[in-house]
Chains A and B, each alone.
Chain A
């Protein structure tokens, strides 16, 4: 009884594969197929990316495939890329969970004539043509510092909550915060940098300590995502909501309640939907020959003209989510 079922399954998958490769061929008739790979497809962040990607695909009239691991899984990512290679898609856009692991698969795709773009998290430079960079360290540092200055009126003490004292990206951001501080805000003073080990509860405790150790503290800047709600809860418990400003890098969804209560003033992140949009725009342009290595600018539909630094297409300065606009975003 089982054998015929297997046979049936075999026939069915052969038919399906045939159908798929046909649609790949139809791509050569003029319709491009762009495949978008998220780190995990259940994650709200990447679901939002896909939303933007769909908009770009509709505008350009290209076919969009969206597939990824259910949970973050580098091996599964490779498997999907292999499938896309045999399907013969025109462009692969990947957010890489494991930089080295996926680069081999992406190189193989390039050898097969597929254009490769990375977004959100990069692969090795020789495994893709461009990286769509959502935010540079300088962009993040400047925006954090400028927002802190704006909220405090440009004077007073502030402290930073970071993930760990050793994380390279965190230290890079702190470097740019300090540079901006020195350059533009002589009346502000960074009194302390506290690590929270990526734990919300630890961020809460560190902020509680900062509040009594520095009675004149004007703002807490959290540069890791669990740090923002942690700092907000501490400020709220101390009864200093509004008096001590809270801002930082995080997801709007995790901070909405505190933003609405007026404890957190600003949550900073790129517009995730725009990241998906730009990625598909760039991928399609690359396949159509409108974008080639060496370009310094890119015309990205509704986003206007964006800068290219080296092989990084820059999404621009991060976006500041506030009480007024946070409800428009659901990631």
Chain B
């Protein structure tokens, strides 16, 4: 159980797919002009990641390694198509505002990378923990970026007016360059957070060793 938890935790900060591994960036910056888009994209992505990893992990002994990449692509594309059709049917507005980025989940490097590096080698339980961790790591960054951009660029949070009327929205944050800007600051923040956590972990280890001695 403890091992599963540590696998789950990896994706959130230490190996955060967006901020540390720098993969799957396209959709992350593009759809984050408002919080509801961020949540929608995060959930869609987590769904595809979870089910592709489960399927690949279950069939990992049957798939010949020479043709594994095409097999992975087909599995991922099938789940992406599902998400795309469901979104079009039940959330037409959300689907329209995210446009081409829903079908693009299929070439999202996070999914391909995790399937290739993790799911094709591990047991089912570890795979579920990994995909949920990675999915959550992806989603929190999306929501974070979206919150900053929506709040400063539009004065709202998930569509609700938050800032006082006297607040003049800074259009820059909603526009594409603002996305890059906020994302750059997020990476910087995550690097700082990681360093800090490493320092405290080392300090705790030292204290424990001193106590033992």
Q: Do A and B bind each other?
A: no
Binding site for B on A (CB under 8 A): none
